[in-house]
A and B are shown apart, each in its own frame.
Chain A
């Protein structure tokens, strides 16, 4: 929704590609991914008249970097050591440690949206008005925060051809079935939908785009060295668990058309994807591997999850077939960073938005990763990570694939399926560009089917 009123430095298109928006070009300076230079589009001003220049970009990065502000990008910006204003339209970001992912950090998915520095100085105003460079501006009088937001076209936008509507109203409906009724009644033209309503929407004659923005669901095998469950220390056992899962069946039962099986922590056409084929469903092979490892009679695996989650039960049924008993412990809430608590279990529920492997590494498989309670260490992964951090774009791509392959080979996880939300829409009114399992198109991408906007 923010994309309506806030242009970003670098725009991530629905097909995942990075395109110029407020920045016309960007590149790493020198070797090692520690200096990143952005060139800005000239003659752009924020809606309050402040010019968008290098100083403005610097102010934005420094604002989000401050942990007291609470920006979701603060952790990734923590490595920024200096923001250098080279000239009016050139900014250099200096990093204390290498990071090859700055281009995607400065998109709409990260810290890409630019806010007028004047507004940053008085952040209270940002809650009720918009202060960006944007196609639309928030109409505060016709907005109830948390319910609906009315945006009206900005007549001074720098690229008028990209303004497709006179007015856009974004509503938040807590009940999906009520949202579906509103779509059917023509009150809404497009809406996000989970697997719960996609089929009903399609039957009602609405068009479906998606699913996008993949979340990988499965189990994170926490006890990779076999401290609590000795069997898990053996790679053959962890691989056996992976062979025992009928991913196709589970994905279709739990997520329907909104899901897709996966045996790795990556998504098709995204960085690191190796194609299907690490662990095809093969219970016989699973039994064989278990027997080889000395667990022909199976073992009990304590798992931590949260209440109401269904996937773990489905996994338990599959694993039961090869003699492994899941002891499922469901809490109201499950803190992945609760190392001490999580160390008592063999594995825990995994549900995570797929991001580039070098970033996933810091969450899941480097020794100091947030969701690696036993601090498991694999030298190969650490080396691959070090190479990837300083690699150029092409090499990074190659290394990302190797990282995901190594993680799959170690079988530190039990990924089962990818799932994402779809968009239901009225094709007579709106067109929705989409690339499956890659992205949720921003609202700015929705365009009128006919020539008349509305």
Chain B
């Protein structure tokens, strides 16, 4: 197990380096640069006063070779200093730290809610079957088909504008008011859940059905094991492996989903920070967010692997 972790960590370092380089190169290939953003001529039909533009480019080091610029960023980043945004003048680490709780709340609650509701519905429909099973099938199709954006706006119109129960947009930090924090997250998390839940339920139902039809289940029944124990202790544990994979994938996927949800619900999270920074060519922020995202994805995969090992001893050997 230690070797698995060590190998994963080495690969992670390489991955972070590679992705940060890739982001750097891709971002500089896109038309425009941060000097234009600062001078207010970064729009689609922009034109910059040449003298001021060149002077600012020089000041920001944008006239240096790409690899020199990357090395400057990297050597700074290796000491833990992610730099300062040339656009806002803010320290990148503190900008990310101030936004991480928002995205973390959204993704953790979103994953938990989706998995909990999805697995429950899946188990229920596998055990009960029949009409409920068909409902799960239809729901999972709908969940994929309904655009999140539309769903989010319908929720706002219903719960905020018409019923006045929940705030339409915005975020309240948990230390300011736990109640308002929860209220501000219900609609975004609800939207994420409805979009992901159905697929989850279907996956759980399919794996459960497979588990329940196995030889050992018949054996357990024959030995008089209770139905509850069969479903939860034996079948669900065996059906859990593909579901755990899905939880991992969902968790990682929600980070990119958050990007969109944060924009619609105006939540000050990392996704929106990344979008704003990308549009404004604010490289230090983009790099910072990408590094943090990559680390989270790597860590999640590691945790998923460890959970596999716990669920299925065969994995531990390989």
Bound complex: CA of A148 vs CA of B269, how far in Å?
12
Indicate with 1 or 0, residue by residue over B137-157, a CB within 8 angstroms of chain A CB atoms: 000000000000000110011
A144–B268 CB distance below 8 A = yes
A293-307 CB contacts (< 8 Å) to partner B: 306
Rounded to whole Å, the gap between the CB of B172 and the closest CB of chain A is 10
A331-375 CB contacts (< 8 Å) to partner B: 332-337, 349-352, 363, 370-371
Give the A interface residue count (CB, 8 A): 46
* Contact status of A124 and B89, CB under 8 A, knowing A146-B276, A175-B263: yes
**Counting CB contacts under 8 A, is A70 at the interface?**
yes
Could you tell me which B residues sit within 8 Å of A by CB distance? 31-32, 35, 38-40, 44-52, 55-56, 58-59, 84, 88-90, 95, 98-99, 152-153, 156-157, 160-161, 164, 167-170, 263-266, 268, 272-273, 275-276
Rounded to whole Å, the gap between the CB of A3 and the closest CB of chain B is 17
Chain B residues in 8 Å Cβ range of A124:
84, 89
Bound complex: CA of A351 vs CA of B43, how far in Å?
10
Bound complex: CA of A75 vs CA of B95, how far in Å?
31
Residue from A74, A147, A171, A363 with most neighbouring chain B CB atoms (10 Å): A147
Bound complex: CA of A432 vs CA of B9, how far in Å?
58
Closest to A124 in B: B89
Bound complex: CA of A175 vs CA of B98, how far in Å?
22
Closest to B155 in A: A181
B45–A181 CB distance below 8 A = no
Could you tell me which A residues sit within 8 Å of B by CB distance? 67-68, 70, 72, 74-75, 78, 123-124, 126-128, 144-148, 171-175, 177-179, 181-182, 184-187, 306, 309, 332-337, 349-352, 363, 370-371
Rounded to whole Å, the gap between the CB of A159 and the closest CB of chain B is 29
A336–B46 CB distance below 8 A = yes
Residue from B39, B47, B95, B164 with most neighbouring chain A CB atoms (10 Å): B47
B168–A182 CB distance below 8 A = yes
* Contact status of A75 and B168, CB under 8 A, knowing A123-B89, A146-B88, A175-B264: no
13 contacts between A and B (CB under 8 A): A68-B55, A68-B59, A70-B38, A75-B49, A124-B84, A147-B272, A171-B170, A179-B169, A187-B167, A333-B32, A333-B44, A335-B31, A336-B47
Shortest beta-carbon contacts, A-B, top 10: A127-B89, A67-B55, A147-B268, A336-B47, A75-B49, A68-B59, A337-B47, A70-B38, A144-B268, A181-B156
Rounded to whole Å, the gap between the CB of A197 and the closest CB of chain B is 12
Rounded to whole Å, the gap between the CB of B275 and the closest CB of chain A is 8
* Contact status of A174 and B48, CB under 8 A, knowing A146-B268, A148-B170, A185-B161: no
Please give 14 more A-B residue pairs, beta carbons under 8 A apart, in addition to A182-B168, A185-B168, A187-B167: A68-B56, A70-B52, A70-B56, A78-B51, A123-B89, A124-B84, A147-B268, A175-B263, A177-B153, A178-B156, A178-B265, A187-B169, A350-B45, A370-B50
Rounded to whole Å, the gap between the CB of A295 and the closest CB of chain B is 28
Bound complex: CA of A335 vs CA of B46, how far in Å?
6
Q: How many pairs of residues, A versus B, come closer than 8 Å at their CB atoms? A: 131
A178–B56 CB distance below 8 A = no
Bound complex: CA of A181 vs CA of B160, how far in Å?
8
* Contact status of A144 and B98, CB under 8 A, knowing A178-B169, A185-B164: yes
A187–B168 CB distance below 8 A = yes
Chain B residues in 8 Å Cβ range of A175:
263-264, 266
* Contact status of A181 and B157, CB under 8 A, knowing A124-B89, A145-B88: yes
Chain B residues in 8 Å Cβ range of A309:
44
Rounded to whole Å, the gap between the CB of A36 and the closest CB of chain B is 21
Chain A residues in 8 Å Cβ range of B95:
145
Chain B residues in 8 Å Cβ range of A78:
51-52
B167–A185 CB distance below 8 A = yes
A70–B39 CB distance below 8 A = yes
Rounded to whole Å, the gap between the CB of A58 and the closest CB of chain B is 20
* Contact status of A336 and B45, CB under 8 A, knowing A123-B89, A145-B90, A181-B160: yes
A334–B45 CB distance below 8 A = yes
Closest to A172 in B: B266
B48–A74 CB distance below 8 A = no
Chain A residues in 8 Å Cβ range of B157:
181
Bound complex: CA of A147 vs CA of B269, how far in Å?
9
Bound complex: CA of A333 vs CA of B29, how far in Å?
13
Bound complex: CA of A180 vs CA of B261, how far in Å?
16
